[in-house]
Amino acid sequence: MSLRPATAASKADVVLPPPTERYPLLGWVWKHLFTPWHNALLTVLALGLLYLLAVPFAQWALTQARWEVVVVNLRLLLIGQYPLEQVWRLWLSVHVLAFVAGLTIGSTVRAGLWRAVPILAAPWALALVADFDLATRAHLGALPVVGLVAFVLGRLGHVYVRRHVIGLWVIYFPLFILLVRGLTAEEGWLPVVPTNVWGGLVLTFVLTVAGIIFSFPIGVLLALGRRSNLPLVRWASVVYIELVRGVPLVTILFMAQIMLPLFLPSNVTIDRVLRAVVGIVLFTAAYQAENVRGGLQAISRGQYEAAYALGLNSLQTNLFIILPQALRNVIPVLVGQFIALYKDTSLVAIVGLLDLLGIAKSVLAQPAYIGTQREVYLFISAIYWLFSYVMSYLSQRLEKALGVGER
Regarding 98 and contact with other proteins (CB under 8 A), the answer is: no
DSSP assignments along 356-404, one per residue: HHHHHHHHHTSGGGTT-HHHHHHHHHHHHHHHHHHHHHHHHHHHHHHTT
CB under 8 A, 24+ apart: contacts of 296-299: 296/223, 296/224, 296/227, 296/322, 296/326, 298/326, 298/329, 299/325, 299/326
- Alpha-carbon span 340 to 360, nearest angstrom: 20
Regarding 231 and contact with other proteins (CB under 8 A), the answer is: no
Regarding 385 and contact with other proteins (CB under 8 A), the answer is: no
Regarding 340 and contact with other proteins (CB under 8 A), the answer is: no
Regarding 400 and contact with other proteins (CB under 8 A), the answer is: no
Regarding 297 and contact with other proteins (CB under 8 A), the answer is: no
Regarding 406 and contact with other proteins (CB under 8 A), the answer is: yes
Q: Which of 378, 384, 300, 397 is nearest to 64 (CA)?
A: 378
DSSP 3: -
Q: Which stretch binds other proteins (CB under 8 A): 116-124, 206-214, 296-304, 361-369?
A: 296-304
Regarding 324 and contact with other proteins (CB under 8 A), the answer is: yes
Cβ partners under 8 Å of residue 177, min gap 6: 206
Regarding 306 and contact with other proteins (CB under 8 A), the answer is: yes
> Residue 305 Cβ, how far from other proteins at the closest point, in Å?
5
CA atoms within 13 A on the CB side of 65: 18
Rg (C-alpha) for the chain, rounded Å, is 27
- Alpha-carbon span 313 to 216, nearest angstrom: 23
> Residue 312 Cβ, how far from other proteins at the closest point, in Å?
6
Instruction: Please identify, using beta-carbon distances, which residue of 13 and 406 lies nearer to other proteins.
Output: 406
- Alpha-carbon span 224 to 237, nearest angstrom: 9
Cβ partners under 8 Å of residue 80, min gap 6: 197, 198, 199, 200, 202, 203, 354, 359
> Which of 169, 235, 320, 389 is in the footprint of other proteins by CB under 8 A?
320
> Residue 233 Cβ, how far from other proteins at the closest point, in Å?
16
> Which of 100, 103, 210, 321 is in the footprint of other proteins by CB under 8 A?
321
Regarding 310 and contact with other proteins (CB under 8 A), the answer is: yes
> Residue 162 Cβ, how far from other proteins at the closest point, in Å?
18
**Positions 137 through 176 that interact with other proteins (CB under 8 A):** none
Beta-bridge partner residues of 200: 355
Regarding 367 and contact with other proteins (CB under 8 A), the answer is: no
Regarding 298 and contact with other proteins (CB under 8 A), the answer is: no
Regarding 1 and contact with other proteins (CB under 8 A), the answer is: no
Torsion of CA 170, 176, 181, 182, to 10 degrees: 100
> Which of 118, 302, 367, 371 is in the footprint of other proteins by CB under 8 A?
302
Instruction: Please identify, using beta-carbon distances, which residue of 229 and 267 lies nearer to other proteins.
Output: 229
What residue type is assigned to position 337 of the chain?
Q
Regarding 328 and contact with other proteins (CB under 8 A), the answer is: yes
Regarding 303 and contact with other proteins (CB under 8 A), the answer is: yes
DSSP 83: -
Site string for other proteins, 250-289 (x = CB under 8 A): ----------------------------------------
Regarding 312 and contact with other proteins (CB under 8 A), the answer is: yes
Instruction: Please identify, using beta-carbon distances, which residue of 138 and 306 lies nearer to other proteins.
Output: 306
What residue type is assigned to position 116 of the chain?
A
| Positions in the binding site for other proteins (CB under 8 A) | 300, 302-303, 305-313, 316, 320-321, 324-325, 328, 404-407
